[in-house]
Amino acid sequence: MRISVRRPSPALVISCLALALALGGTSYAAALALPKNSVGPAQLKTSAVTTKKLAPNAVTAAKVLNGSLVKADFKAGQLPAGPTGPAGPAGPAGPSGVSGLERVDATSATNSTPGRTASMACAAGKRLLGGGARVNPALPQVAITSSYPGDDNTYQAFAREVTATGANWSLTVFAICAVAS
């Protein structure tokens, strides 16, 4: 089957040409009617100009109002640090320190006596910070009944046999001492 192609009528050609001239002529006339730099803030709608619509380097330092930028407008490290401010008043003195820390100990006699006492004093000029005690050897029949600081300088302990034993044992007491001012 053959499709016959008809030529457009002269009236159709003239009407299409008139329409093209009418539409194109209006756009051309509008472009010619606007003088250069005639569109400004008053003619623009809010948010009409976005970052994507700006040409590269369209906003330069000369076009930015001095003092209009804030810290958030800059990347980290772009702003130099300001001058160091004046020093404030000195704070209160800190707590005294501890020096000459040492652990000293004393051990009672080793025998089968059912109870014993031991104490250890810090050297002159030092204070007791803490202490403790232990039974030698560790026997389930012997218990430390008390362990405490006797005063600011001495640590003492008491131990006794809970169940009679013929074993020899001793009590060691130790003190943690230091110069504390």
pLDDT score, position 25: 62
Spacing of C-alpha 118 from chain mean position: 50
Q: Is residue 131 part of a domain?
A: yes
Residues spanned by the domain of 145: 98-180
Q: Is residue 128 part of a domain?
A: yes
- Residue-level pLDDT, tens digit, the chain, 181 residues: 677 777 888 888 888 888 877 776 666 656 666 677 777 777 778 877 888 888 888 888 788 888 888 888 888 888 888 899 999 999 998 877 888 999 999 999 999 889 999 999 999 999 999 999 999 999 999 999 999 998 889 999 999 999 998 899 999 999 999 997 7
- pLDDT tens-digit readout, 120-147: 999 999 999 999 999 999 999 999 999 9
Q: Is residue 79 part of a domain?
A: no
Q: Is residue 130 part of a domain?
A: yes
Structure tokens at 54: 């700006």
Nearest CA-CA partner of 115 in 174, 164, 173? 164
Q: Is residue 143 part of a domain?
A: yes
pLDDT score, position 87: 92
Q: pTM of the prediction?
A: 0.48
Q: Please tell me the total count of domains within the chain.
A: 1
Q: Is residue 104 part of a domain?
A: yes
Q: Which secondary structure element, helix H or strand E, spans residue 155, and what is its range?
A: strand 154-161
Q: Is residue 74 part of a domain?
A: no
Q: Is residue 118 part of a domain?
A: yes
